[in-house]
Every structure is written in C-alpha cells, then in structure tokens.
Structure 1
Amino acid sequence: MKVKKIILTIAAVSSMGFAANALNVANADGVPSVVAGQSGLPSMDVVDVASYQGNLSVDDFKAMKAAGIKGVIVKLTESTNYTNPFARTQVNNARAAGMKVSAYHFARYQSADAARNEANYFADVAYNLGFSSSDLMVNDVEDNNMVAHNVSGNSKVFNDQLHSRGFSDTGLYTYTNYNMDRSFMPNNRIWMASYPYEPSSSRLWNTQYGMWQWTSNAHVNGVSGTFDMSIDYSGMASVDSGYRYVPSAGGWRWVENGQLYTGFRMYMGTYYWFENGVRSDNAWHEAWGNWYYTGSDGRAVQGHQKIDGQDLYFGDDGSFALRSSGYIYDRSSQNGGYRWYENGHLFTGFRFYMGTFYWFVDGVRQNAGWRSAWGMKYYTDDTGRALQGVQKIDGTYYNFGNDNSYYERGGYIFDGSSQNGGYRWYNDGKLFTGFRYYMGTYYWFVDGVRQNAGWRHAWGMTYYTDANGRAVQGVQTIDGKTYNFGTDNTYYLR
C-alpha cells in the first residue's frame, strides 16, 4: 500500500508524568528488512499485493503459505478509472495455492457521489474476478487530499454502498494519525498501519483493531520482491471461512476454517444449510435440537408453509424452527418418508392416530413389539397398532382389555384349552400356578387350570378349595374332620 508520512513517537508515561520509554515508528521507506519465518517478530498472517508485485505464480503463493502466511489481500481498483492489471492472475493463483483471498480499493473520493461511484466500480471488478458477497472487501483510506472533504462521512457512504451491492464483510484500512472519524466501522474490521523501527513479538501494537500492518519491507524466501505484512488479530483476512471458490472441489463451496462445512450458516440475512460446502435446497435439517426446512432458494423458511401438501409452521421470530406436531413428510427412509413430530421435535412414545395408538421412536413408527408406558405394558402389531382383547403372541395368550385402554392385564383368558371351558389363568402372559382373587373369592390354579376340591399351600399357610374351586372360610367338615378357616376373608387354616 502507499502508506507515507507515518513518523510517530509513542511514549509510555509513568504516573509521575515522565516518559518511561519511547518507541519510534519508521517512515514506510525506512523500515527494517525482515524475512518471513524470522523469530522474535510479530506474526506475518497476511500479505497484501498490488501491481508492482506483478504476476506472482502459484508456487510463489505456496512458498508464502509454507512460511506461515495464511491470507492475501489483492489491490483491485483505484478511484473509478484504474484496475490492477495483474489482479486476475494474483487472485486466481493465490486461490489455487489454497490461501484466503480478499480485496482492497485505494480511495480518491472527495464527495458522497464520488464515494458511491468508487464503491460501485470496486464491486463490479470484484464480482468480475469471482469474489463472493462473503469475501472481505477493504477500503484503503490514506490519501490526505480527502481529509478536507468530509472523508469520514464519504467513507461511510462507500461502506454502505458496498453493503447495498451485497458485500457483507467490509473493512477499513488507514494509519494511526490519519485524520478521520472511524466510528462507522467496528474496530475488529479496521486494518491499522504503523511501522516500528524495531518490530518485536513481545511488543505488539494496535491490538484493539482487527489487523495491524507492521511492515512494508518483508521478504519471503524463494519469492522475488518485498511485501507488506500484517498480524491478523481477529482473523478477518486469514481465517478462511465463507462462500469460497474451491478449485479442488470444482466450484463454489462454503468453507469454515479452511474446511468444507456441513451445517447452517447465516448468509445474506438468513440461514442456509451446507453439506460438504454445497448449499442444500428443498430439504429438512436438524440443528440445535430443532428441525428446519430450506426452500428451493436454499433459505431457511419461516411462518406458515405448505410443504409436500402439509401446512406447517416455522414461527415468525427469526428462529426458523419447526413448531408443528403430527405425522410430517420429511422424506426420511422409513414409514414412506413420514415421521411423528411433537412441537417440532421427533417424538418417542405413544400417539393416538387413525383410531388407535401407535408407538414411535425418534419419530419412526415401530411395528410388532412390546412397549412400556404409564407404568403399563402394551403390544403393537406388525402394522404398528396397539392391540386390544385376548391376543396370542409368540404362542402365549395375553389380555389387553376391551375398553380402549390397550394395556396387558393378565387374568382368565380363553385359549381354547380342554379344561375350564377353554379358559386358563395367565399372569404376564404365562400360565399361572397359585391363588388369584376372582369373582369375590380366591381360586387356586395349576398351570392356569382351576383346581377344585383340595388342600393348598401359599404364603406359609394352608388353605382348602371346595368342589367349585373356591377357597373356604369358617368352620368346615372335610373328610369327616372339622377345621376352622376364620371369617375375616383370610381363608387360611387356624
């Protein structure tokens, strides 16, 4: 860049008012020569190039990358009548070397209209060179002829115009004693230039800004020429994120920290979903514990939407999450593409549907199998429906009632046996041996078959069931002997 006249003395003043030490800032033509990779220096995260570096090759940029330089900022334009003749080669070769590539414009405007025109000129060239709306676009403000012509207001106009042209990531380059109000630009998007005579990694300047250009006299082994170098505090020009042209992938992809990205990213005012960097259209997506839908333009939808014939609601508060419940066609691989949602979440449990209960696991209908809910046991058949009545399952009889409650309750079940008129007593699906209370008294069963006259032993006591199978009470004569079974409904022999 063309930074000149940056001759400052920065003094650290003690509490007594005396200068504790002083650091001199060199003229851009007199800064010391440094080499990329040299120890004890501020980081060389970003290099900026212009026409005087000429046709830098892919190998040149690879050498820079090997030296630890991550980003390249290419001068594209100046005023409204100059385009860097080497810009296309520099941009394409830096991309081919796998570096993050940004752009800058050298400003000359002295009015709001001129600022707007320069921004448009910059934007036109940038789009023509393949820059996307998420790439960093920097306004280089250092011409002193602009100061007397409302440089601050005009620079804001320039920045706003870039935004209106679709560029969401904009920055401002200037130097520390340039006379302008920079408040329209966040500090993390300001690129500040100042060159110390003795640059040191233990004495960093301008850390309140996004990036600091600390030398204009850097060399890279294996590459001809000298370069401006910057330490990138915020990652604004060295962290490779956003919509990028990725040669190895054969097109434009969303990149996050240099990797093809899968997931949502906010872009152009809404969320888009990317799969390995590719924008995903007309599809469902799960993120942050919610479900979302991206339309044919890739944008996450809001409000009431009709999708695959269904009326669904995604809210109107900028959160984009599905709120709807029910059997929703989300093109899953099961249930013909349908799954059960509850307030936008895949549901596990019973839901009443089409006249009966169905069991879902992560929204997928489950067919034949036992289910536990509300402290009871249930069974769904091979169509997913909860069963009622007496059912034979895996060779065992179960009673699920006939009152639309569907739970398994055991009891006297007709299984077509040759005894007890075809009924036997089941407990948890198994033929039961022991006492069961039934029709106002206790009966004794052996393998589910009611036993009539005979002695029984249970709970450490002795009992007797009569010819009808009922446990007796009171004083009874059995086989010519008298026995007392009590009269308090306990039935055991005293």
Structure 2
Amino acid sequence: MNLKNTLMTLAAVSVFGVAAEQQSIIAHAEPYITAGQSNTPKTDVVDVSSYQGNLSVQDFQAMRSKGVMGVVVKLTEGTSYTNPYDATQVNNARAAGMRVSAYHYAHFTSQSEARDEANYFADRAAKLGFTSSDLLVDDLESSDSKVSGITDNAKAFNDQLHARGFANTGLYTGPWYINSSGLDVSFIGKNRTWIADYPDNPTSQLHTDYGMWQWSSKVSFPGVSGNFDVSSDYVSMANAKTGYLLDTDGQWYWFENGQRYTGFRYYMGTYYWFENGVRFDNAWHEAWGHWYYTDANGRAVQGVQNIDGQSLDFGNDGGFYLRSTGYIFDRSSQNGGYRWYENGQLFTGFRYYMGTYYWFIDGVRQNAGWRSAWGYTYYTDDNGRAVQGIQTIDGKVYNFGNDGTYYERNLTGYIYDGSSQNGGYRWYENGQLFTGFRYYMGTYYWFVNGVRQNAGWRQAWGYTYYTDDNGRAVQGTQVIDGKTYNFGNDGTYYLR
C-alpha cells in the first residue's frame, strides 16, 4: 500500500491476462528511515505484499525487536489476483509471535462488484486460517474505484465481510483519496480507518483521530532486505497481540488482544496463571469457582500434591482444581495464611477443628463475634473458638451450656455476672434479671432485678414473709424490731 499525494500505478499483466500487484510511484522526496531511529513516530505495524517476497521467521523477529507487533499481509486484489507469497508471509509472521491481519486491494465500481471482491478476499482469508477476530482491511486507493457512490460501495464491501463472519474490519485510504472521491468514512468510523500520509520530515505522531496512521513506505530494518510501509497503531487495530510473546524489553508475557493478561491461559498442555502478563509460580489462584495451584514451573498441578507439608488432591480428570477439605495453608493474608476449604471451595459457616467449632467466612476464620447457625446463636472468642459455659460479653452475661452444644440458651439461676452486689451474683430467669422469691440452697431468697435482698418484709403469693440479714426467708418464732412473729415450721415460711 503506497498512497501518496500524487498517485500513478503500474499494472503488470501476465501472459494469462491476470493483473499483478500494483505499486505506486512517489511524487515527492520521502526520506529513507532506519527503524528505531530517534525522533520518528512509532513503528507498531508493517504491511507487506509480494513486493517483499519470502520473508522468514527471523525477518519478522528482527522487526519485533524494533517494536513491530502487527503485520498486515496483502492477500488479494480485485477478483482474480492472489499474492503468491501470502501463505509464507502469514505463517512466518505468526511463528514469530506477531498479530497477523490481512488486506485486499480494491477496484470495485459498484455495490455488486464490491460484494464480489469481498467474497474473493474472504475465501482466501478463510483458507489461510483467519477468523472473525482477525482484522481484515479494504485498501481503497485505486483511481478506478473513485466513482459516484464510492461510500455505498465501500460499505457494501464491509457489510459483505461481516456477512461472511469477519466482524473485525477496517478501511485503508488517505486524505488525497478522501478529498478527490468524496468518500465518507463515517460508515465504519475514524477509529476503524487506517490513514496513509507521508510527511517529508516525520518526527511526531499525526492523524491521531484515526485508528492507524501509515507514515512511511521507506523504513528499513537491520538485517532484513528491502524497505517497508510502517504505521502507528493508536487503537490496537492491527497489533493487538495474543499469546505468550517476547516483548520489546526482552521478557515473555501473555498478551490478550494487545493487553498484558491476568488469569489462566492454556498453553503447552496445561494451564498457567499470569498477572499483568507475568507467569506466577508456586502460588494459589481462584478461577471459574475453583482453586488451583501452580508449581515451580508455573504449571497448574493435578493429582495428590504435597504443598507446604499438606497432602492435597487436585484430581486426575483434567480439571486441575482442588478437591480437598480442611484448614489448608494457602498463604492467605489472614490467620497465619490458613483458610478452610470444603471440597475445594472456600467455606462459610462452622467447622469442628482442634476440639471446638470455628466460624469461617470465605475460608477465613472469624474471631470475636456472634454467629447464627442451625437455628441457634453462638459466640466465638478472640481466638475464633466457639465458647461454652457462662460468658460475659460486652458487660452482659450469657449461658452457652456445658454439654458440647455451644449454643446460647436462656440464663436461669444464681449466676456470677460480676455485679457490684452480693459477691457479683444475680438471679436470672429465662435470661432476664428476676424479681421475686426463688428457692436456693435449702430456703427462699428474695431478689429485686436479680439482686438478693437481705433483711426486710416481702409480699408474695398472697402472704407476708421476712428475709434475714443473709437474705434467707425465716421460719419459726422470730423477734423483729422488738416484736415477736410466728412464721411456722412446716416449710412454708409465711407469717401467721
């Protein structure tokens, strides 16, 4: 593709009457540039045709070392020409780890011709293994295509590619062609348009409102024969690389559509985990609702594995995910790196461990706090253990039983709750501080809001009683405040 300010084309015709590739002749002094030369625009993408011949894998790797990540290969022209080197160029560029796209040099002058050319292009692209995610470009620069209805024709070409299953399409043209033909690129959008314009002194990025800018056709790469068209790709139209690729810093990264990827990717027979493109070894990973472990070589493990002194099962069915149950050291950031797994899943709820119950949320042991489970209420202490017996929590007393059930039940009885009276004990009834008589240690005591009352008269059950200095209801004959009273000796305690 060599679109210039002034354009003339030479068409070589074979003895069979088939048009060979057309090369444009430059009408101004475009400078020769060596890739990597300072103060020049980015060389994200190169495009090649039969003019470059049989480029090797090493040739494309040399381009990569100078920042090129995308190659656009000419496949077809009109409805009868195919680049004789396209398969070699496509396969070798792919082998070098580059994102490979394709273009078609258009001659159509009507919508029906546009659809025919699109089908011819699509047939060849499919044969070379291009898929719906690969970029296919309509190269619209030929003078014979500049007819009334050029925009509708270009849209028909684009629509036909979509109909053939190629959804990622683009348009190549230049300011000269747009101005002289009346082409309106809005049908595809500027961000899907590859604009060609070669400044005499390319020192900065231009045409940044387009998807790509082809800024020279005279760039050479050290060690590679010939000159190349180069472009700056502003929106990753043609350099959205995918796979485990050597980047320009000399390091390998996993790319997904041009971005360094985070997550699992299947590669060389197993799954590897990447974070911002970097492979992660000896680590736990969560994906697809399961947990996985990658070993020292970054490979997701299978079978029974000893990890940090634990024997863990990752299955042998090609699933790679954890199947084990228990408190597993997975190097988490809480509780010393341990979390509770249930059949390979991080568990929420109670689990019995080391002589008591612990409460977990997403595998993480929870410490002091109230818990609800199995229709009951529980409390776990500062060490995460479910408590039993009488416990004072936030200044209030609770009963969790002593029968190994751990759940809260109503307080009933004379219970030490640290109160300021009567040695810290108070009487509870069904969890409430009680007012009235309760039988305890061989006699009746009178309580007000749980506090034992000592010497005084009491009214209960329609009778009158008296409790002594120790709070005990009296019996028999008693002298109270200098007066004699009879409280009986039949265990009823009331005044008669």
Q: Return the alpha-carbon distance in structure 1 between the equivalents of residues 375 and 451 of structure 2.
A: 40
Matching residue of 1:106:
105
Describe the SS at the equivalent of 2:90: helix
Q: Are the structure 2 counterparts of residues 65 and 87 from structure 1 closer, same or farther at C-alpha, using a change threshold of 3 Å?
A: same
Q: Return the alpha-carbon distance in structure 1 between the equivalents of residues 239 and 203 of structure 2.
A: 20
Matching residue of 2:187:
184
Q: Return the alpha-carbon distance in structure 2 between the equivalents of residues 161 and 258 of structure 1.
A: 29
Percent sequence identity is: 40
Alignment map for 1:320-335 (pairs within 5 Å): none
How far is the alpha carbon of 1:36 from its aligned partner? 0.2
Q: 1:434 aligns with which of 417, 425, 428?
A: 425
Matching residue of 1:412:
412
Q: Return the alpha-carbon distance in structure 2 between the equivalents of residues 42 and 237 of structure 1.
A: 16
How far is the alpha carbon of 1:210 from its aligned partner? 1.0
2:126 counterpart of 1:132 = no
Q: Are the structure 2 counterparts of residues 367 and 159 from structure 1 closer, same or farther at C-alpha, using a change threshold of 3 Å?
A: same
Describe the SS at the equivalent of 2:226: strand
> 1:180-235: per-residue Cα shift (whole Å, max 9, x none)?
2222111011111111111112xx32222111111111100110001011111222
Q: Return the alpha-carbon distance in structure 2 between the equivalents of residues 171 and 119 of structure 1.
A: 13
Matching residue of 2:56:
57
Alignment map for 1:439-458 (pairs within 5 Å): 441-442=435-436, 452=443
Describe the SS at the equivalent of 1:68: coil
How far is the alpha carbon of 1:443 from its aligned partner? 6.2
How far is the alpha carbon of 1:245 from its aligned partner? 10
How far is the alpha carbon of 1:411 from its aligned partner? 2.0
2:88 counterpart of 1:89 = yes
| 8 Å Cα contact 1:444-1:450 kept in structure 2 | no
2:78 counterpart of 1:75 = no
How far is the alpha carbon of 1:150 from its aligned partner? 2.3
Q: Are the structure 2 counterparts of residues 451 and 229 from structure 1 closer, same or farther at C-alpha, using a change threshold of 3 Å?
A: farther
Matching residue of 1:154:
153
Q: Are the structure 2 counterparts of residues 234 and 112 from structure 1 closer, same or farther at C-alpha, using a change threshold of 3 Å?
A: same
Q: Return the alpha-carbon distance in structure 2 between the equivalents of residues 377 and 42 of structure 1.
A: 63
Alignment map for 1:271-282 (pairs within 5 Å): none
How far is the alpha carbon of 1:157 from its aligned partner? 0.2
- Count of residues in Structure 1 that have an aligned counterpart in Structure 2: 341
In structure 2, give the amino acid aligned to 1:386: G
Q: Are the structure 2 counterparts of residues 39 and 28 from structure 1 closer, same or farther at C-alpha, using a change threshold of 3 Å?
A: farther
How far is the alpha carbon of 1:386 from its aligned partner? 2.7
Q: CA RMSD in A?
A: 4.9
| 8 Å Cα contact 1:206-1:212 kept in structure 2 | yes
Q: Return the alpha-carbon distance in structure 1 between the equivalents of residues 441 and 47 of structure 2.
A: 96
Matching residue of 1:221:
222
Q: Return the alpha-carbon distance in structure 2 between the equivalents of residues 426 and 433 of structure 1.
A: 6
| 8 Å Cα contact 2:438-2:445 kept in structure 1 | no
| 8 Å Cα contact 2:70-2:240 kept in structure 1 | yes
2:233 counterpart of 1:232 = yes
> 1:6-32: per-residue Cα shift (whole Å, max 9, x none)?
38xxxxxxxxxxxxxxxxxx9367411
In structure 2, give the amino acid aligned to 1:158: F
Q: Are the structure 2 counterparts of residues 473 and 409 from structure 1 closer, same or farther at C-alpha, using a change threshold of 3 Å?
A: farther
Q: Return the alpha-carbon distance in structure 1 between the equivalents of residues 85 and 199 of structure 2.
A: 30
2:172 counterpart of 1:173 = yes
> Under a length normalisation based on structure 1, what TM-score does the superposition of the two structures give?
0.57
Describe the SS at the equivalent of 2:122: helix
> 1:359-386: per-residue Cα shift (whole Å, max 9, x none)?
xx988454564889xxx95664xxxx33
2:454 counterpart of 1:463 = yes
Describe the SS at the equivalent of 2:176: coil
Q: Return the alpha-carbon distance in structure 1 between the equivalents of residues 192 and 95 of structure 2.
A: 26
| 8 Å Cα contact 2:77-2:104 kept in structure 1 | yes
Q: Are the structure 2 counterparts of residues 103 and 459 from structure 1 closer, same or farther at C-alpha, using a change threshold of 3 Å?
A: same
Describe the SS at the equivalent of 2:37: coil
> 1:236-280: per-residue Cα shift (whole Å, max 9, x none)?
112325xx7999xxxxx982325566499xxxxxxxxx9979xxx
In structure 2, give the amino acid aligned to 1:463: N
How far is the alpha carbon of 1:58 from its aligned partner? 0.9
Describe the SS at the equivalent of 2:76: strand
Q: Are the structure 2 counterparts of residues 259 and 89 from structure 1 closer, same or farther at C-alpha, using a change threshold of 3 Å?
A: farther
Q: Return the alpha-carbon distance in structure 2 between the equivalents of residues 46 and 110 of structure 1.
A: 29
Gaps of 5+ in 2: 8-24, 247-253, 266-270, 275-286, 290-320, 326-344, 361-368, 378-385, 391-397, 470-477, 483-496
| 8 Å Cα contact 1:28-1:195 kept in structure 2 | no
Q: Are the structure 2 counterparts of residues 378 and 65 from structure 1 closer, same or farther at C-alpha, using a change threshold of 3 Å?
A: closer
Describe the SS at the equivalent of 2:225: strand
In structure 1, give the amino acid aligned to 2:258: N
In structure 1, give the amino acid aligned to 2:231: S
How far is the alpha carbon of 1:128 from its aligned partner? 1.3
Q: Are the structure 2 counterparts of residues 464 and 97 from structure 1 closer, same or farther at C-alpha, using a change threshold of 3 Å?
A: farther
Matching residue of 1:40:
39
Q: Return the alpha-carbon distance in structure 1 between the equivalents of residues 272 and 45 of structure 2.
A: 29
In structure 1, give the amino acid aligned to 2:113: A
In structure 2, give the amino acid aligned to 1:186: G
In structure 2, give the amino acid aligned to 1:257: G
Structure with the greater alpha carbon radius of gyration: 2
> 1:296-338: per-residue Cα shift (whole Å, max 9, x none)?
xxxxxxxxxxxxxxxxxxxxxxxxxxxxxxxxxxx99699xxx
Q: Are the structure 2 counterparts of residues 181 and 387 from structure 1 closer, same or farther at C-alpha, using a change threshold of 3 Å?
A: closer
2:196 counterpart of 1:193 = yes
2:379 counterpart of 1:386 = no
| 8 Å Cα contact 1:108-1:146 kept in structure 2 | yes
Describe the SS at the equivalent of 1:157: helix
Q: Are the structure 2 counterparts of residues 276 and 53 from structure 1 closer, same or farther at C-alpha, using a change threshold of 3 Å?
A: farther
Q: Return the alpha-carbon distance in structure 2 between the equivalents of residues 425 and 370 of structure 1.
A: 27
Q: Are the structure 2 counterparts of residues 473 and 85 from structure 1 closer, same or farther at C-alpha, using a change threshold of 3 Å?
A: farther
In structure 2, give the amino acid aligned to 1:227: F
In structure 2, give the amino acid aligned to 1:43: K
Q: Return the alpha-carbon distance in structure 1 between the equivalents of residues 4 and 68 of structure 2.
A: 24
Q: Are the structure 2 counterparts of residues 114 and 451 from structure 1 closer, same or farther at C-alpha, using a change threshold of 3 Å?
A: farther
Q: Return the alpha-carbon distance in structure 1 between the equivalents of residues 104 and 147 of structure 2.
A: 20
Describe the SS at the equivalent of 1:225: coil
Q: Are the structure 2 counterparts of residues 90 and 236 from structure 1 closer, same or farther at C-alpha, using a change threshold of 3 Å?
A: same
Q: Return the alpha-carbon distance in structure 2 between the equivalents of residues 378 and 131 of structure 1.
A: 57
In structure 1, give the amino acid aligned to 2:222: N
How far is the alpha carbon of 1:53 from its aligned partner? 0.5
| 8 Å Cα contact 2:435-2:446 kept in structure 1 | no
Q: Are the structure 2 counterparts of residues 184 and 454 from structure 1 closer, same or farther at C-alpha, using a change threshold of 3 Å?
A: closer
| 8 Å Cα contact 1:456-1:464 kept in structure 2 | no
| 8 Å Cα contact 1:187-1:210 kept in structure 2 | yes
